[in-house]
C-alpha cells in the first residue's frame, strides 16, 4: 500500500513538472487541444530560485510563452496597478516533439484524473501500466518521426537519440517497478530489454567485425559471439561463427567431398 502511495505521489510530481514544460514548449501559434484546456483546472505554482519570499512582484501564466506580471497586493494599497504581459518566442522545437509533449501531458492528466475519481483508493496497477505503455508508444512514435524526416539534421538525430534513451530507461522502470511479473517472466523481460537496448550498438559492432579481414582476428569477435548467445540470438551467433576461418576451411572441404550420407555424417560430427 505504501509503495502504491509513493508511486502515485511520484506520478503527480512528474505531471506537475510536465505541465510546466509543456506550456513552455508548445508554439505560440496555439497548438492546444483539450489537454491544455484542462490544464487550467490544475494551476501550477512556479518557484523561482533565489527569489525572496517578500518579493513585491507576482506572475501568472496567460498562455503559451506568455506571463502576466503584477505587484503583490498589500494592506496599504488603495488601488491595483496595471498588468504587464511578458512574452517570448517559441522554443526551437519542431512539430514532432511538440506533439510528444502534448500527448504526454494528456496521459499524465488522465492518470491524475483517474486518481481523483478514486479518492481514498490507490490507483490500480493496470491503469498505471496502461498509461506507461501509452507514454512509451508516444516516445517511439517521436523517435521514428525524427529519424524518418527527409532532411534529417544533426539536431534531429541528437533529439532522436535522447528520446530513444528515455524510452529505454522508462521501459526498465516499467519492468522493475510498475508491471507485476513472476520471477521467471521478470528474467525473460530483462533479457529482452538488454537485447533491445543494445540493438543499435550491436549492429554497428557487427558491421565493424564483418568488415575486418579476417573477421575472427578482430579483438571483439568472440565477445560479440558470447553476447549474441547469452541474449538468445543464436541465429546471428551462427552467422557470425560462419565467418571464422576454421569454419570456412571445413566448408570448403565439405563442398569438395562426394555427396553421400556417410560424408555428411562425418562432417557433422567434426563440426
pLDDT of 179 reads: 86
Per-domain residue ranges for the chain? Answer: 198-270
Of the CA atoms within 13 Å of residue 228, those in its CB half-sphere come to: 20
Contact 46, 21 (CB under 8 A): no
Contact 58, 71 (CB under 8 A): yes
CA distances in angstroms from 46 to 23, 104, 136, listed in the order given? 12, 20, 28
The rounded Cα 202 to chain-centroid distance in angstroms is: 19
Residues 6+ apart with CB under 8 A from 170: 132, 135, 136, 139
The single residue listed with the C-alpha cell 478514486 is 118
SS (H, E, C) 219-233: CCHHHHHHHHHHCCC
pLDDT of 133 reads: 92
Strands 66-71 and 84-87, by their bridges, are antiparallel
pTM over 0.75: no
The single residue listed with the C-alpha cell 521467471 is 184
Contact 160, 96 (CB under 8 A): no
pLDDT of 271 reads: 46
pLDDT of 116 reads: 75
Contact 127, 114 (CB under 8 A): yes
Helix or strand holding residue 171 (H, E): helix 154-173
10-residue averages of pLDDT along the chain (271 residues) = 57 53 44 43 53 69 75 64 72 77 89 73 77 92 83 77 90 88 79 82 87 88 88 85 77 54 47 46
Amino acid at each position: 500500500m505504501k509503495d502504491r502511495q509513493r508511486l502515485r505521489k511520484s506520478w503527480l510530481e512528474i505531471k506537475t513538472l510536465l505541465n510546466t514544460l509543456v506550456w513552455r514548449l508548445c508554439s505560440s501559434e496555439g497548438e492546444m487541444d483539450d489537454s491544455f484546456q484542462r490544464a487550467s483546472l490544475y494551476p501550477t505554482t512556479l518557484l523561482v530560485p533565489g527569489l525572496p519570499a517578500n518579493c513585491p512582484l507576482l506572475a501568472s501564466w496567460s498562455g503559451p510563452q506568455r506571463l502576466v506580471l503584477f505587484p503583490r497586493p498589500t494592506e496599504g494599497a488603495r488601488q491595483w496597478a496595471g498588468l504587464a504581459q511578458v512574452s517570448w518566442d517559441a522554443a526551437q522545437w519542431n512539430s514532432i516533439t511538440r506533439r510528444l509533449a502534448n500527448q504526454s501531458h494528456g496521459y499524465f492528466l488522465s492518470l491524475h484524473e483517474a486518481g481523483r475519481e478514486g479518492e481514498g483508493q490507490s490507483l490500480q496497477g493496470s491503469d498505471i501500466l496502461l498509461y506507461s505503455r501509452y507514454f512509451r508508444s508516444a516516445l517511439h512514435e517521436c523517435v521514428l518521426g525524427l529519424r524518418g524526416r527527409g532532411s534529417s539534421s544533426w539536431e534531429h538525430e541528437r533529439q532522436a537519440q535522447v528520446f530513444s534513451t528515455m524510452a529505454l530507461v522508462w521501459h526498465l522502470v516499467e519492468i522493475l517497478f510498475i508491471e507485476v511479473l513472476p520471477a521467471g517472466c521478470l528474467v525473460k523481460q530483462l533479457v529482452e530489454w538488454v537485447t533491445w537496448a543494445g540493438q543499435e550498438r550491436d549492429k554497428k559492432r557487427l558491421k565493424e567485425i564483418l568488415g575486418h579481414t579476417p573477421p575472427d582476428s578482430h579483438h571483439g569477435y568472440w565477445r560479440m559471439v558470447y553476447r549474441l548467445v547469452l541474449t538468445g540470438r543464436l541465429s546471428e551467433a551462427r552467422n557470425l561463427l560462419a565467418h571464422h576461418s576454421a569454419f570456412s576451411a571445413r566448408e570448403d572441404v565439405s563442398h569438395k567431398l562426394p555427396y553421400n550420407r556417410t560424408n555428411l555424417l562425418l562432417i557433422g560430427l567434426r563440426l
